[in-house]
Structures are given as C-alpha cells and as structure tokens.
Structure 1
Amino acid sequence: MPFSPPPARPRCAPVATIALSVLAAIMATACAPVPTQPGRAVPTALSAASETAPVATACPQDIAAMARCLAGQDSAGAFYLIAMPQQWNGHLVLHAHGGPTLGSPKAERAVEDLERWSIMVRAGYAWAGSTFRQGGVEVRAAAQDTERLRQIFVHHVAQPKRTVLHGQSWGASVAAKGAEMFTATAEGKRPYDALLLTSGVLAGGTRSYDVRTDLRVIYQHLCNNHPRPTEAPYPLNIGLPKEVAMTQADLQARVNECLALNKPAAERTPEQQRKVQTLVSVLRIPASSIQSHLNWGTFHYRDVVQHRTGGASPFGNMGAQYKGSPDDAALNAAVLRYRADPAAVARFAEDTDLTGRIPVPVLTVKGVDDPTAFVELDAYFKGTMERGGSGARLVQTFTQHAAHSYLSDPTYPTLLAALLRWVDAGEKPTPEGIAQQCPAFEATFGKGCAFLPAYVPALLDSRVAQRERP
C-alpha cells in the first residue's frame, strides 16, 4: 500500500494577510518591474547591489516562535519571502516553486510556499523563496529570479556557509536550469553548493508534457466536448485559442458532464466509467489526476504557444501508438494527430530542456506513485546527467508515496543532511544509507520515512507512447 503523508498543516490566513500587507507596501515603493517579453533573452549576469533591502514581516504561525521573516519585491517584479531561524545552522535553502502559476505574480504565493516548506526552517535552515516575476512556463526567467534572490540574501541578510538550491515539481527544472546557467559568482565562487530536486518534472519541456497531449486527443475522441461540435474547431496541441474565454471551472464542468469525476465510480453510468477506465489504462494516470493534467494541457499549453513559442505548438503525437483500451486499433485510427512545429520545439527546448552539465552534487527524491510527475521522468534525467558528463554527481532516491506536492516531514531533513555531508566531507550518499538514516529524524519530525533503496525506475518510453520528433 502506498504510504499516506500526514495531513497538510492548516493555512494561517491571518498571518498571511499580515505578510501580504507588508508586501503591498513594498510594491507601492519598489522600482518599476521589468517584465519579460516573449522570446526575450534572459541575461545571466545579475547584481543585487541596487536591490532594495527586504523588510521585516510576520512569519507563518508554525514557525513564528522560532524564526524572523523578511519580505520584498525585487527589481524585476518578483515578490519574495525569507525566513531566518533563531537557531540557524548557517545554511540556506533557496527554493524554486512548482506549478507554474499563470497570470501576474502574487505575494501570497511566497507565503504559501513557506507554509508548505516550513520543515526547512524547523530543521534549522534559512529559507528563501521567490514568486518569480511572471506566471507561465518560462524556466530561464524563473532561474534568474531565483539567483537574484540568492544575491539579495547574501547582500542584505547573511552569508551562508552553504547554499542548497531546492526545486520542487516544475521548480526542479528551474533549479537544474539555474545550476547550469549560474556556475560562478563575480568572486569566482560557485553560487550553489548542491541541488535538492523533489518530485521533479525533469525530462525537459519537450518530453515531460507528452502525456498531456495524449490526454487531450484521447479525451476529445471519447467526450467530444473540448471543443464541442458547435464550437469553432482548433488544433488541440495549442491548448486553447487566445480568444476563447474559458475558466478552469468551465473545463471542469465539461469533464464532469462526460466523465462524472465529481462522483464516486459506483455512481457513474457504465459509459462514463468505461471512458474513465480507458483514460486510466492507456495513459496510466489515476482518475483523480485526469482533471489536473487536462487543465495543464489546456491553459499551460496556451501559455506556451501564445507567449513562448511564437504561436506555433511544440507538442505533437504523430506516430504515437496508444495501448490499453478496449480496442487499440480503433482508438489509434480515430484520435486526432498533430506534428510538433520544429521551430517551436527548438525554442521551447532552449528554455526548458536540460543539458546535464551541473557542476555540483545533485540529490533527488520521487514518490514511485507520483500521479503528476511520473517516476520514469527521473530515469530520463539520469540519462541527461550522464550525457552531460555529470552522472557521478547524481544520486536518486525513491519513496513509497503516492503524493506529489509533499512527501513527509522527516524525508527532507534526511536528504539535506546527506547532501551536506556529501559537500563538506565528500561522503557521497547511497539510497541504502539514506533509508537507514531517515528513522533518526522521525524522533524530531514525526513518522514518515518510506524510502525504497532498491527501486530503479523504468525508462520514460515505457510509460509514455513514443512519437516522431523534429
């Protein structure tokens, strides 16, 4: 049975409101944001000398008694939040959040991230997280915003002994890209001592999202309501036309109309359950994640096509052969086919795909039943690191979790401790050693160790249908 993580800690609305009021005041007096334009190159040289110092703000409730918090908005327009524990161990965890969120950045995102990742502060680490300057799928810009925050921390707060760059989910690709982009400071030192990548989307944009293209075409074959026959047709691999006003609630209503995902399986009609089971069997995703993957394949795809790749789609399913339905031949003959635009693929790859040239230790963790970022993505990332000459600097761990956003409290301090021993003493961790070390952290942080030291993920092509690529 998959390990179930402990219930999420309750949000602290009053504290978050206080933090937001401080950030609103900062925004009113901050330098004018410098938005990133579609296709605009992101410079790699940054300086925090001209950045306004952060100001004191209230911490989330569960760390308020043990830390002080600082907040600000950087010169590019990103909000950020910093937490300094009273009993600081001298190390900084620099956080790159998942998502990505669409739309303009909101200060509360940094508050929510700190609430979720307060385990870092409770374990003695300073924590700093940026909202990024913009919403949407732009990895290099997010990496730049993260590096700018590191410099703000060093310039205005403290000089950490070690800096661990932590990327969660989509933020794992941001962290990995940042480690490739920023390899030395102005003083010739490495800005990051190590990377911790958790529940990562690590096969690059040109491969990590293939399942969402497959979901769009199979869902449309089964349901024919996204778009409806009465609506103007459009290529499904663009996500959604720019002019179509659809909300996530609108899309959810269409999905429930066809699949009744808002009802227990026993209350669906036989036809609805047959369609749900077809999607589950062919795509190998749980029914509970169909809606979220379809949201990403709709609204995030539109963001990519409209704002990142010049109106052409980098997503395609030409040549993909789908298996697991009641009639695979009929399914493959019926689904719509799209060829990814070569120029769009190249443009998207330049921003989101990784080279594997990372000069510092990298430790990853993934729940083997992660419904959002498949465990097989980590097998692809291992190959990327090996092709980039960094295979010896990668250690991958896996846990018996079926969660994505958060695994368990003792998991993360265990990984950070092992990572810092690797950096400081040259003791490269092993999955077996990490599994053995985790129970010692349960005395402080509660139960939750579920490492699987012998687990090896299958190749990504065994999980997601192979297809033609430009």
Structure 2
Amino acid sequence: MNVLLAFALTASLTSAVHLPPTAPCPENVPAGTTCYEGRDANGAYYTIAVPEKWNKALVVHSHGGPDLGDPTPERTRDDLNRWAVMAEEGYAWAGTSYRRGGYGTRMAAEDTDNLRRTVSAMLKPRKVFLHGQSWGGNVAAKTIELYQGYDAALLTSGVLAGGSRGYDYRVDLRAVYQYYCGNHPRPSEVQYPLWQGLRADSTMTTAGLRGRVEECLGVAGSRTPEQQRKLDDILAVTKIPEETLTSHLNFATFTFRDIVHNRLGNRNPFSNTGVTYRGSHDDKALNAGVERFAADPAARAELAHDSDLTGKIGIPVLSVHAIGDPTAFVEHESAYRDTVRKAGRSHNLVQTFTTEATHSAFSDSEYAAAMRSLAAWEKSGVRSNPFLIAASCPVLDRKYGTGCFFDPRYRPASYESRVAPRA
C-alpha cells in the first residue's frame, strides 16, 4: 500500500478503532494490496484486503458451506484468494469464517454484519456491497433483510429456497439411496430414522460414507449391471447429477445430523410425506418401500425462521447462477424470484444466468461484469439488465481472459418442477 493511502486509512480511524495486524496476502491478490487478519469477540476469524488503488467501496463476503469443523483463518484466506478479482477491480474486501462451524443462517448473518461494522469503522468506505456464494447466498440474502448498511448485494450460486424446502432433494436422496442400497445404516447396525442424517454418536467419516456408496453403486468403468441399474434409478428419481451424488449424500448425512442434533434438539424438520417418486424402473415398488417421515411442525418452523427468506429487499440485488449448477440447482432462483415478487420487491431484483455447469466459482470476467453492472445500478438508479451484463463481459475478458458464458434469455422453470413439493 502506498504511503498516502496508509496515512489516509490511519487518519480516518477514531481513537477507539485500530487496524488489525497486517498479514501476507494470498497469491492471487494483486500486487500492492495490503491484507489484515484478526478474530472478533465472538470467535470469528476475518481477513481484509485493501488494494493500492482503492475505489473507496467495500465488498463484504458471506461464504458457503456450512463448514462443520471449527473456524480457521485459512477459510477467509482461501476465500480472498478465490475472489481476488474484487481487489483487482479496486474494491476493499472482507470475509468472515463465522464464529463456529455448523448450520445457522442467522448466526452467520450476524457475523457478516459484525464484520461490516468493524471494517466500515476502520476504512470509512463510501459504499458497501455484500457478496454471498452458495449457502453464503442464503446468508447474504438474510443479512440484507435483517440489517441496514448495505448499498447493493451480489448473490452467486445461491441456495435461495431457504432451509425449510431448499434441501428437499437431499431429503429425497437420503431416503431413496437407503431404499436401493440398504447400507446407511446397515441392517446389522443400530437403526435410526433417516431424517436424522446420522446417529449423533456415529464415528463415520466422509471416506467411510464414500466407501459405502462405492460398495452399493460401484465405480465408473467397473459396475455390475445391478449396480448400474441402482445408480440409474437413484439419479433419475432425485435428478441429482452423478458427479455430485456423493457430495449431496454427505450433506444429507453430516449436515442433516448437525441441523437435527445440534440445532433443533433432535427434532425433525424434514418430510417426504406425500411425495410420489418417479423415474425408476419400478416406481410402484419404490413408493411402497421407501421410508416415510413427517416433519415436527415446531422444528420445521424454527428452521424456516433461521433460513427462509421474506423477499423484502430494499436495495439492488443481482444474482448469477449457472444453468447446469450440479449442487444448488438453478431452480433455487425461481424460488427466490417468487418470494421477492410476493413481497412486492421485484424491481430490486435482477437475475442472470450462465450456460456453465459449475457451482463453486464463475470466471473473473463474469464477476467483474456483474459487479460493474451492480455498482452502476446502485449509483444511477437505472436497473441492471442481463443483456447489458452479457454484452459488457467480453470487453472485460480482454483483461481477465477467463471466459464469458452469460445467457440473458434464460429463465428457469419453477422450483417445484425440479423438487417435488411436500404434503
């Protein structure tokens, strides 16, 4: 950081606020950027980056997951490295690890806003933008409903249907997988209802779960006809891509356990009551034999309170989602669109889509195009436009060279077209 900027930052602080210690910047961050690291009073780690040519705007980042382990500073360093394009575009960037692992949208939203207030006191930015990725999209969308202080928000690959229905395809996977495979749990093991995800005292690991999946469904290139038929049935019924089957089952195992045992006092928020499973070689047998369960109304209401969205957004919100997202299906955007429409705030939401089949990150050119469009919308009051975003991306791609894949004409089908509604 140059001397004048360092002096300006220091001079802007009140006597009660101090910059945290400097730290090495991750490798993708542009040269001349100054990075800081710290830990807040609740235990959340944070990383801050201020580029040499700072545009006086701040991007606060809500990360995805949720991570189930304890928070670490590596989480925020990795996020900064992944979204170093924000610093390249001139924004200061700040990300939080959240105070603990595990589910908790409102908790993560509070930690996000704590970071905004902390960094705003340090740097005195003129504008504050919020960026949420994956589950962090849910966190960011909840944050702008609960807290003031944000000028606009970017939601990418967002889990925007909320917890009360946004994981129903994983609920279905948990039940359908067990119907076909019968090894999670095995008949010889202590039995538990599938909505728990996993027994609270189980020592199963992700590697152990992967072993059970391979035991039942085999591996590509060496499956028996029976294994292939089971796999085909599971994929057809749940509409989950093969490449992310195990990761979805991980969520429906370990994150469900966290939600049920650690957050909801062993009560069930999930249901597959009334779902008719279709697409297998024998739907009648599947629907007769699959395990059924109904949600505890109070537990479901608590999960909804924590993570469902009202759509009452008072600032410009731009979302970007890959049409072929194999993790958070693109139909999450339809759920959010309907929620915002019912709240009468459609004028504050613009959704755009890419032809990619990705979830974890878009190209730097696409992020830059989205941020520039969002900033222009916030500044001028003229609503963003998917066609203009798509048209602007190739110009930015001359700098970044990472590709542009926007499809401004795409509109996803309803959420219910992808995930069967519950009774």
Give the TM-score band, short-chain normalised.
over 0.9
Tell me, yes or no, if the aligned pair for 1:321 and 1:466 is still in contact at 8 Å. Answer: no
Tell me, yes or no, if the aligned pair for 1:79 and 1:131 is still in contact at 8 Å. Answer: yes
Tell me the residue number matched to 1:13.
none
Q: What secondary structure sits across from 1:208 in the alignment?
A: coil
> Mapping of 1:208-227 within 5 angstroms?
208-227=166-185
Task: Kindly tell me the number of residue pairs found equivalent between the two proteins.
Answer: 410
Q: 2:277 aligns with which of 309, 322, 325?
A: 322
Tell me, yes or no, if the aligned pair for 2:29 and 2:87 is still in contact at 8 Å. Answer: yes
Tell me how far apart the structure 1 counterparts of residues 28 and 262 of structure 2 sit (CA, whole Å). Answer: 39
Tell me how far apart the structure 2 counterparts of residues 60 and 169 of structure 1 sit (CA, whole Å). Answer: 22
Q: 2:44 aligns with which of 78, 88, 106?
A: 78
Q: What secondary structure sits across from 2:351 in the alignment?
A: strand
TM-score by length of 2: 0.95
Q: 1:236 aligns with which of 194, 197, 201?
A: 194
Q: 1:124 aligns with which of 74, 90, 98?
A: 90
**2:289 is the alignment partner of 1:331:** no
Tell me how far apart the structure 2 counterparts of residues 354 and 297 of structure 1 sit (CA, whole Å). Answer: 22
Tell me, yes or no, if the aligned pair for 2:353 and 2:408 is still in contact at 8 Å. Answer: yes
Offset, 1:64: 5.4
Offset, 1:409: 1.2
In the alignment, structure 1 segments of 5+ residues that lack a partner are: 1-47, 184-190
Matched residues, percent identical? 49
Q: 1:424 aligns with which of 356, 379, 383?
A: 379
Which amino acid in structure 2 is aligned with residue 258 of structure 1? C
Tell me the residue number matched to 1:92.
58
Which amino acid in structure 2 is aligned with residue 72 of structure 1? G
Tell me how far apart the structure 1 counterparts of residues 335 and 29 of structure 2 sit (CA, whole Å). Answer: 37
**2:393 is the alignment partner of 1:438:** yes
Offset, 1:54: 1.4
Offset, 1:389: 2.2
Offset, 1:62: 2.3
**2:125 is the alignment partner of 1:160:** yes
> Mapping of 1:283-294 within 5 angstroms?
283-294=238-249
Offset, 1:172: 0.5
Tell me how far apart the structure 1 counterparts of residues 162 and 312 of structure 2 sit (CA, whole Å). Answer: 14
Tell me how far apart the structure 2 counterparts of residues 49 and 386 of structure 1 sit (CA, whole Å). Answer: 45
Offset, 1:327: 1.2
Tell me the residue number matched to 1:69.
35
> Mapping of 1:280-429 within 5 angstroms?
280-429=235-384
Tell me how far apart the structure 2 counterparts of residues 146 and 244 of structure 1 sit (CA, whole Å). Answer: 32
Tell me the residue number matched to 1:59.
25
Offset, 1:453: 0.6
**2:138 is the alignment partner of 1:180:** no
Alignment RMSD: 1.3
Tell me, yes or no, if the aligned pair for 2:321 and 2:330 is still in contact at 8 Å. Answer: yes
Tell me how far apart the structure 2 counterparts of residues 196 and 373 of structure 1 sit (CA, whole Å). Answer: 16
Q: 1:270 aligns with which of 225, 234, 239?
A: 225
**Over residues 243-275 of structure 1, what are the superposed CA-to-partner deviations in whole Å (9 max), with x where a residue is unaligned?**
111111111111111112xx32x3211111111
Tell me how far apart the structure 2 counterparts of residues 113 and 124 of structure 1 sit (CA, whole Å). Answer: 17
Tell me the residue number matched to 2:411.
456
Offset, 1:52: 6.5
In the alignment, structure 2 segments of 5+ residues that lack a partner are: 1-13
